[in-house]
Structures are given as C-alpha cells and as structure tokens.
Amino acid sequence: MFAWSPVTQHLAPGTMWNKGRSFLMIGLTVTVGLFTVVYVFRTLLSVPKYTTLNPELVPIQREKLSVRIGSYSMSLHYPQPKSLTPPRSDVMTVTPWLAPVVWDGTFDTSIINSLYQPQNLTIGTTVFAIGKYTRFIKGFLETAEKHFLVGYKVNYYIFTDKPEDVPSVALGPQRNLNVITVSKFSRWQEISMRRMERILNTIEERLLKEVDYLYCLDVDMLFHNHWGAEVLSTLVASIHPGYYKNLREVFPYERRPASQAYIPLDQGDFYYAGAMFGGLIQNVHALTKTCHQAILIDKQNNIEAAWQEESHLNKYLLQYKPTKVLSPEYLWDDTKPKPPEIHFIRFSTVVKNYAEVRENV
Amino acid sequence: MCSKGLPYLFFGVTVTVGMFTASYVFHSKWTLLSVSKYQTLFTLYPEPALHYPQPKSLTPPRSDVITVTPWLAPVVWDETFESSIIDSLYQPQNLTIGTTVFAIGKYTRFIKGFLETAEKHFLVGYKVNYYIFTDKPEDVPSVALGPQRNLNVITVSKFSRWQEISMRRMERILNIIEERLLKEVDYLYCLDVDMHFHNHWGAEVLSTLVASMHPWLYFYPRDRFTYERRPASQAYIPLDQGDFYYAGAIFGGLIQNVHALTKTCHQAILIDKQNNIEAVFQEESHLNKYLLQYKPTKVLSPEYLWDDTKPKSPEIHFIRFSTVVKNYTEVRENV
C-alpha cells in the first residue's frame, strides 16, 4: 500500500495510518481539553469585574439633555432665579459631589417638563406585591395615576405570586400595566432581598429595550402629591425619613466587616431608603447586578445584612454616588410627625400591622 | 484500525465534556459555586480611601447664594463641593478634556500666561488637550506641559474686525469638533485666552452642558441683562425672560453637546448675517439665547470667570480664573 515510501516498507500494511490516527485523536483531545482548562482558569482566577471600578458598572451614562440642534421655540414664563438667593435656606440642596437634593422650592415644574417632555421618554416602575401585599396594589396604582410622572409614558411592572389578585385599575393614556408572576419565599426578608435578582433578570430580559428610566418602589405606599420629572437623573436615591437628621455613626448600615454591605462608623453620606431607587435603565442594571452579587456572596458566607437589600443599596451608593437625591418628601413614613422642613408629603407608607402582613416574624 | 483509535477518542471526548461541565458549574453566575471564588479571593468593593465630613441634610453648604437652579442644575460655588469626592468619581473614567482658545493677531501675547497658569490649576491630574487657534503659529510659545497634557496648534485666518474674529469662533469650533474632536475628547471647554488661572478649576466643572455666570451681571434683574433685544435677531430675548446672563468666555460640556451648541449658534449667526444684523454682544448673545432654551446641566459661579477690574464682593471667596487687565483699544485692531 505504501510501496513508494522506503520508510514504511518494513511495517505491516495499515499500521502507520492507524497509529497516526490514534495520536491525532489524542492530540486533538488534549488540545481541546487544554483550551477548556485555560478558559476555566483564566476566567475564574482573573480579577472579577466588581473589585475595581469597571466602566460597565460606574454610572457614566449621562443624560442627553440639550443635544438638539434646531430652531428656538416659545419660552416659558417664570420668576427669575436669583443668584444671591438660595431657594431653601433650611436644608441642603446640593451634595458635596454636586448632586441636587430635591426639595419643594428648589425646582419649577414647568421648566423641568419643558426639558423632559420633548424627549419622548418611557419611565418604568417595579413593585413587588407578594402574598398579602397584593392588597396594596390598588391604592398604589390609583394614587400613582394621579401623581406619578403624570403626562409621561409609564410602564408599571407588578411582580406577584397571585396574578389573579391584581385589581383592574383604570390607567391614563400611554400608561401600561405588566404583571410578572414570581414564586413566594417563606421568609419576608428573602422576598425583599430577592427583588434585586428579579429586577436584574427583568431588566436583562426586556427592560433595557422597553424603558429609558426605571424606578423601583415599595408597593405598600400611597402617592399624595406631585412626584414628577424632577426625579429623572442618571442614578437616583431617596433619603430615608427616619435618619436624615442623624449622624452617620448611628445610621443602621451593616456594621459587620464579614458582610459585603459593611460600612465603617466614620463613613457614609446619607442613609438611603430601600423603598426607592432608580435612574437610567443602564445604571439601575449595574446597581441591581452588583447588589445581587453582594447578596449571594453574603449567603455563601452565611450572613444576612441588617436591613437586607437596603444595606447593600447603601453600600453601593456610598461607592457609586447618586446623581440626584430625593428629600424625605419623596418617601415618608406616616407614623412620623411632619417637621417644618417637610412642606408636604408626596409619597408615604400605608400604616399597617407588620406582624399581620409579613408571614414570618 | 478504527477500533484502536476509538478508545482514545472516547477518552478524549469524556475528558473534554467533563471539563466543560466543570467550567460551566464553576463559572455560571446562577450557581453559588461560582460566587465562592470571589468570596475567598476578593471583596466586591474596593476599599474606599476617602474620609470627609458628613454632608448634613439640614445644613445648606452656602446660605448666601443660589446653589441649584430651578431646573435642578447645581451652581458651583466654593464650599458646595468636595474635590476629593469629585475626583474619586471622575478619575477612574479615564477622560480626556479638551480646551479651545483663540489667539489671533495681538492676542498671541496671552498664550503663555494662559498655558502656564492652566498647568497649575486647570483640570490638574486629568488628560488635557489644548487647541490653540491662531493666525501666527510661529508665535505660539513653548511652555512645559505636564504628563498627559498636549498642545495642538490650529492655523486660521485673521479677520479685520475683532467682532468677526469673536463670532467666527462658533464656526471654527464646530468645524474642528466635526473633523477631530468627537474622537479626541470626552469633554470640551471653550475659553477666552486673555485670562489667567489663579486657583483650582477642576473636575467639578464636568457635566453634560456647562455655562458660567457673567461676573458683571450675576446680581442684576433679567430686564437689565444685556441680551439682544431686537426681535429681528435670532438671539432676541424679551425683557421678561431669561435665567442668567452667561459669559461668552466659557462654555463647555460633553463633546456631543458642545457640538449641538456651536452648530445652532453658528446657524443663528449666519441667519443674522443674511438679515444684516449683528447681535449686540456677538456670539455671547447667541450663546445666551441657546442656553435659555437648552438649559445647562451645571452653572459655574463667577469664581470661575472673574474680571479683575471689578471689586471682589463677599460672596466671592476667591477667584479661580480672571481676565488679564489690558488696553482694549490697543489689542483690538479696529475700534
């Protein structure tokens, strides 16, 4: 068979090809195996994305206000802003990293709307109504229809384990309801913490294409006053009504270094509420992704942060600072008496019996 | 002969499949096993090194000035911001900030002072590209620049009227943006050259669209702002409108937004030319019209652009950038 080759003449016919093919197969297999091993070790042992300020997680998405080339239209009429007159003398209206803090008196709604309305935005909002919390959906939706981003395209995303209990509420034009069925966990803490993961999944499955801004709210709340486009910004958080007068050492941050949410006593800007966070969809994506990873790491280490995902939210926002902060007008607790700096309440918790609605102690 | 290779093949396939499974299990983000690698080797957040006083919700940083506009743009004054925090947010973004100045005719004499003081105070620690527009490139002095700071000289023609030189800046900046800057810089700040930096002029100025309050007019009522008041001009603003009087000596922001601004202002200037009208303060009038409509996302206080012939008032804690005192009739080559 191989008569032409002097080397192979002394071998049995066919053996050379057999031997070669075996080696070829071994070689191929080893090569493929090595590639797999290299891939596995390169990705696992390489620095994970979150230890440094990975650009995909740093909120660098900037609002594209003013990128409009064109002619000038009619202007609005409003009082002149005065350079030597602060809009509020009793509260902080801008953070040390130059994020506005939104209080009554600091903004003019007509100007804000003139900037955002032409952008044809869609704002999404997520709420979780699981177990007995379905009873809050009606009040939330009805009051949102009166006060929440009125005049804008709004998509509600209601996560529930009982879709049949979602009431039918009349919605205004360009306002849509989406019901997403999820399972119920036995512990309310778990239900609360898993919101990060569930919002993250929904963002990746659909929201990146469906909305421009996303606001993740608690459902056991009612809107009472204007909650409008003044909240729109790259990354937005709300000051917790219970702690805005306290020193950072008494903020209920997670204080155990074993947790990913750990913040030492001498650090911290504000105590942000877990009941409200939002911003451009890409930034909420980064936030939920990082917080979910942090929660998983804590689980692995058998630790649960003091205030569940709210602790993780605070850790995230200490590092990746919000570009706009909402005053406690935007998230109030009706069991608290109203102090003078709060001119009126825009959104507050429904007074309820916690032991009754939460199905574990 | 096939059977001899077959065991090796099976062995190889099994090893490969096994490795893929192992890598999937250990790598998949949905399993806790993948997470354990992070937990044992790294923490999720880098150690924040910053220590600064706590911001207090019930304590305004400044009680004597406006710190946020009615459209929620911060107004940047001393004490409203903490540089270390600002830098911690912007430094990691690996930004390039460009700045344009026009040094035409006798104005080349100001380049040295501008560059030397900019090297001390302007966006220090960041990548900066200077773009010097001049009709006399040979007169551009050689100034030592820090690392990651570059000089670009762009030769342009000189017009006989200083007003024309000033107004054409919009067109020239627009052209250079379209030719190269969209690819070369993240932020662009268009400044006057006959100026010196005296103090920190840092990353606190970075924002989508930025303008500066005019040092002479920031405390005036709007009906005394020196807007263009003739309806025949594109820059016309009626007496009952206006937020601030912005200075033509500074405007900036994200490159895409400066592109939109210069394009619109240039078009407006051309329309005015067609109608034989020149706005009262040239491109500064057009800038003000633009910013009334397309509001800035950050406003710089007069600390950021001062006129040294003006006495300093108490709300101005210190001056960061100011005009070089000069004889206007001498440097401007027409009356």
How far apart (Å, rounded) are the C-alpha atoms in residues B227 and B225?
A: 6
Alpha-carbon gap: B154 to the closest alpha carbon of chain A (Å): 26
Residue A50 per-residue DSSP state = T
Determine contact, residues B193/B110, Cβ cutoff 8 Å.
yes
Nearest to A80 by CA among B296, B247, B225, B299: B225
**Which tens digit of pLDDT belongs to each residue from B13-53?**
877 787 777 666 555 544 444 443 333 334 567 655 688 99
pLDDT at B242 over 50: yes
Q: What is the ipTM of this complex?
A: 0.84
Chain B residues with CB inside 8 Å of A260's CB?
43-45
Q: What pLDDT, on the 0 to 100 scale, is given for residue A71?
A: 53
Q: How far apart are CA A227 and CA A329, in angstroms?
A: 9
Question: What's the pLDDT at B17?
Answer: 80
Question: Can you point out the beta strands (E) in A144-241?
Answer: 153-160, 175-181, 213-217, 221-223, 235-239
| Top-confidence residue, B111 or A69 | B111
Mean per-residue pLDDT, B144-149: 96
Q: What chain B residue is nearest to A62 in terms of C-alpha separation?
A: B208
Residue range B286-325, pLDDT digits in tens: 999 999 999 999 999 999 999 999 988 999 999 999 998 7
Other Cβ atoms closer than 10 A to B138:
8
The answer to whether residue B82 is catalytic is no
List CB contacts (< 8 A) between B303 and chain A.
Answer: none
**In this predicted structure, what is the pLDDT of residue A16?**
61
State how far the Cα of B304 lies from the Cα of B320, in Å rounded to an integer: 5
pTM of the complete model: 0.83
pLDDT averaged over every residue in chain B:
89
Could A84 and B315 be called an inter-chain contact, meaning their C-beta atoms sit closer than 8 Å? yes
% of chain B surpassing 90 pLDDT: 76
Q: B54 CA to chain A: closest CA distance, Å?
A: 6
Distance from first CA to last CA of chain A, Å, rounded? 84
Element (H or E) spanning B213, and its range? strand B209-213
Query: Is B227 or A64 the better-scoring residue by pLDDT?
Result: B227
Q: What is the pLDDT of residue B37?
A: 38
For residue B132, the distance in angstroms to the closest alpha carbon of chain A comes to 26
The pLDDT value recorded for residue A25 is 80
- Asked if residues B44 and A51 have their Cβ atoms less than 8 Å apart, the reply is yes
HSE at residue B288, side-chain half, CA atoms within 13 A, is: 29
Q: For B187-221, write each residue's pLDDT tens digit.
A: 999 999 999 999 999 999 999 999 999 999 999 99
Please list the pLDDT of chain A residue by residue as tens digits (361 residues): 434 444 444 444 455 666 677 777 877 877 787 777 766 655 444 333 332 223 333 334 455 444 444 456 556 889 999 999 999 999 999 999 999 999 999 999 999 999 999 999 999 999 999 999 999 999 999 999 999 999 999 999 999 999 999 999 999 999 999 999 999 888 888 888 899 999 999 999 999 999 999 999 999 999 999 999 999 999 999 999 999 999 999 999 999 999 999 999 999 999 999 999 999 999 999 999 999 999 999 999 999 999 999 999 999 999 999 999 999 999 999 999 999 999 999 999 987 767 677 766 4
CB contact under 8 A, B48 and A111: no
Rounded Cα distance, A152 and A123, in Å = 7
Q: Which residue from A282, A123, A276, A155 is spatially nearest to A208, judged by alpha carbons?
A: A282
Round to whole Å and give the CA distance between B223 and A144: 40
- What region, left, alpha or beta, does residue A174 occupy, with left being phi > 0 and alpha being psi -120 to 50 degrees? left
* A42 inside 8 A of chain B by CB: no
Most B CBs within 10 A among A18, A19, A71, A83, hence the mutation to make, goes to A83
What is the predicted pLDDT for the residue at B2?
59
Q: Which amino acid is at B302?
A: P
Question: A168 touching B, CB under 8 A?
Answer: no
**B101, two tokens:** 């100045």
Is A297–B261 a contact, with Cβ atoms under 8 angstroms apart?
Answer: no
B292 touches chain A (CB under 8 A): yes
Residue B4 has pLDDT above 90, yes or no: no
